[in-house]
Chain A
Amino acid sequence: MPDDRAIETHDLSKKYGDRLAVDRLNLTVASKQVHGFLGPNGAGKSTTIKMMVGLLRPTSGSLSILGQGVRGDNPKVRRKLGYMPELPRFPKHLSGEELLDVYGRMYGMSKTERKGRIPELIKMVGLEGRGKDRIGKYSKGMQQRIGIAQALISDPELVILDEPSIGLDPVGMVEVRNMVKDIVKSGTTVFFSSHLLAEVQQVCDHVTVIHLGVMRYSGTLDGISSNVFARRRIVIELEKPVDSVLASLKTLKFATAEANMNTYTLHLDTREDVRAEISRAVTGAGGVIVRMQEEGGGLEDAFLSLVGKEGMA
Chain B
Amino acid sequence: MAQKNRAGTLAAFLAVLYYEFLWNIRKKKIIAIFIIIFAIATVQLAFAPIADAVANPPQTLQANPTFTFDGIAALTGIFLFLVGVATTMNTVSGEFESGTIVPLLTKPVSKTLVFAGKVVAAVTTLLAAYAFLVAYITVGGTLIYGPQDNLNVVPLGILGLTIGSMVWASIALTLGTLSKNSVLAALGSFGFYIGITIAGALIGSFLGASTILFYAPGMGASGTTGACAGLERGGGQTFSTGTDGLASMLMRWVLNPGQVLNFCGFQFRASGAPTTTLLSSDTFANVAFRDLWVSLVYVAGLLLLSWFAFRRSQIAES
Chain A contacts to B: CB under 8 angstroms = 16, 46, 50, 53-57, 73, 75-76, 78-81, 83, 85-94, 98, 102-103, 105-110, 113, 147, 150, 154-157, 186-188
* Chain B, residue nearest A150 (CB): B103
Residues of the A chain whose Cβ atoms lie less than 8 Å from the Cβ of B318? 46, 85-87
CA distance A78 to B23 in the complex (A): 23
Task: Name the residue of chain A whose CB is nearest to the CB of B113.
Answer: A75
- Give a binary string over B304-318; 1 marks a CB under 8 Å from any A CB, 0 the rest: 000000010011101
Known: A85-B102, A102-B22, A156-B1. 18 other contacts (CB 8 A): A16-B316, A50-B315, A54-B105, A55-B105, A55-B314, A56-B315, A75-B12, A75-B109, A88-B103, A92-B98, A93-B26, A94-B26, A106-B12, A106-B109, A107-B108, A108-B15, A113-B4, A187-B1
Q: A94 near B18 (CB under 8 angstroms)?
A: no
The answer to whether A186 and B107 touch across the interface, beta carbons within 8 angstroms, is: no
Interface residues on chain B, number (Cβ under 8 Å): 37
Interface string of B1-18 (1 = CB under 8 A from A): 101111110011011101
Closest to A56 in B: B314
CB <8 Å contact, B311 and A55? no
B18 / chain A contacts, CB cutoff of 8 Å: 102, 105
Whether A106 and B108, one on each chain, are in contact in the complex, defined by CB atoms closer than 8 angstroms, is yes
Report chain B residues within 8 Å CB of A85: 102-103, 106, 318
> Which residues of chain A come closer than 8 Å to B16, judged between CB atoms?
106
Residues of B within 8 A of A109 (CB): 5, 7
A98 to B23, CA, bound (A): 10
A93 close to B311 (CB less than 8 A): no
- Set B1, B15, B22, B23: member contacting A106, Cβ < 8 A: B15
Q: Which chain A residues lie closer than 8 Å to B5 at the CB level?
A: 107-110, 113
Any chain A CB within 8 A of the CB of B110? yes
> CA of A113 to CA of B11 in the docked complex: distance in angstroms?
15
Quote the shortest CB–CB distance from A244 to chain B (angstroms): 59
Query: CB-CB < 8 A to A187: which residues of B?
Result: 1
Interface string of B114-150 (1 = CB under 8 A from A): 0000000000000000000000000000000000000
Residues of chain B from 221 to 259 with CB closer than 8 A to chain A in the complex: none
Q: How far is the CA of A156 from the CA of B142 in the complex (A)?
A: 58
Name the interface residues of B273-318: CB closer than 8 Å to any CB of A: 311, 314-316, 318
5 tightest A-B CB contacts, nearest first: A108-B7, A89-B99, A93-B26, A105-B15, A79-B108
Provided the pairs A102-B18, A108-B11 are in contact, do residues A154 and B3 lie with their beta carbons within 8 angstroms?
Answer: yes
| Across-interface contacts of B26 in A (CB, < 8 A) | 91, 93-94
Q: Which residue of A lies closest to B26 (CB)?
A: A93
A residues near B110, Cβ cutoff 8 Å: 73, 75
Interface pair A94/B7, CB less than 8 Å apart: no
Q: Indicate the member of B8, B11, B26, B108 with the most A CB atoms within 10 Å.
A: B108
Q: In chain B, residues 154-197, which have Cβ atoms closer than 8 Å to a Cβ of chain A? A: none
A93 close to B15 (CB less than 8 A)? no
B27: Cβ under 8 A from any A Cβ: yes
B87 to chain A, nearest CB (A): 17
Q: A94 touching B22 by the CB < 8 A rule? A: yes
B19 in the interface (beta carbon within 8 A): yes
- The answer to whether B107 touches A78, judged by C-beta atoms less than 8 angstroms apart, is yes
- Give the residue name and chain of the B residue nearest to A162 (CB): B318
Q: In whole angstroms, how far apart are the Cα atoms of A54 and B3 in the complex?
A: 20
CA distance A75 to B3 in the complex (A): 14
Smallest CB-CB separation from A187: which chain B residue? Answer: B1
Residue of B nearest to A80 (CB): B3
Residues on B with beta carbons closer than 8 Å to the beta carbon of A91: 23, 26, 98, 100
Residue contact B106 to A53, C-beta cutoff 8 Å: yes
**1/0 contact string of B204-229 vs chain A (CB within 8 Å):** 00000000000000000000000000
Closest to A87 in B: B318
Given contacts A91-B23, A91-B98, A106-B16, contact A73 B311 (CB under 8 A): yes
> Measured between alpha carbons, how far is A150 from B316 in the docked complex, in Å?
21
